[in-house]
Amino acid sequence: MKSKFPQVALIGKYQTLASGASSASPRGVLEAIADFLHSQGCEVHVERDTARNMGISGHPVLTVPAIGEQCDLCLVVGGDGTMLGIGRQLASYGVPLIGINQGRLGFITDIPFNNFKQSLGPMLRGEYEEDHRSMMQAKVMRDGRCVYDALAMNDVVVNRGASSGMVELKVEVDGRFVASQRADGLIIATPTGSTAYSLSAGGPLLHPSVPGWVLVPIAPHMLSNRPIVLPNATEIVIEVVAGRDASASFDTQSLASLLHGDRIVVTRSQHNVRFLHPKGWSYFDTLRQKLHWNEGVTSP
């Protein structure tokens, strides 16, 4: 059967493979996947930095924006961090993404490399589950000017400085004062990000279909400051009131230094990230596998 996706882009993590990943070289992994895609009738394009850093030739080379404009599907080979970076860049183009896991956890890169042919073949023929993930648009406002603007698919985090004490943060939702918090920081996480830093700070898990965010304090001074789930149609503002060397991070992949009076304004992005999963995929199966639920318990 002819592939539903005639033009397929291949993007790989070329720096290093995580411990415990496939023993094949990064270049060998991508070439094996490219060969399989060709056998399924797909024309393969390799992302420019991936091709340059891995020495891959014999395929058309495209920038990420060109992939968004020209390709029907993007295969991301790496870990969740690789997928986060590419997902943000391609969201506005509506290109669906499939993740092949060469990292550690793989919450959103969920196809193991050792099993990619068995999973990928039917998906290329149109047998898949589609999963849309929301994103956040975050701006750092200083004296009425936007000094930093970023997208986040996992979370926006305001942190204290490495060598200083707590920060004091004022929180507003839709222009209404919520609380002033003294803490090591504050996390605003999407449902996708609820399994990341937010979870380790005591936040709840949010199913990807929930139209909400979770606001989670990091080591708060008052134990009554608890995580709260908010609708993602709201505007959340975090103002830096006190504390030295505070910073804001966006998916831990970009960073902005903050001054007293800076306001971090978070709204829902107009774009979603499209993930494709193997037929029969379930979010709950992912949670059980990645969080080691039911270990030592007989499953039904």
Cα 32 to chain centroid, rounded: 25
What b/e readout covers 207-230, taking b as 16+ CB neighbours within 10 angstroms? ebebebbbbbbbebeeeebebbbe
- Does residue 80 carry a catalytic annotation? yes
For the chain, give the number of residues. 300
DSSP state, 270? Answer: E
Q: Sheet harboring 254-257: ordered strands across?
A: 228-231, 212-218, 185-189, 155-159, 247-250, 254-257
DSSP state, 20? Answer: T
Q: CB of 188 within 8 A of CB of 178?
A: no
Nearest to 59 by CA among 111, 115, 7: 7
Residue in 80, 110, 131, 251 annotated catalytic: 80
Q: CB of 124 within 8 A of CB of 5?
A: yes
Helices (H), 40-115: 48-54, 64-70, 80-90
Q: CB of 30 within 8 A of CB of 50?
A: yes
Cα 39 to chain centroid, rounded: 30
Assign residue 185 a region: left if phi > 0, alpha if psi is -120 to 50, beta otherwise? left
Residues 6+ apart with CB under 8 A from 57: 51
Query: How far apart, in Å, are the Cα atoms of 263 and each of 133, 143, 190?
Result: 26, 9, 20
Write out the catalytic residue numbers.
80
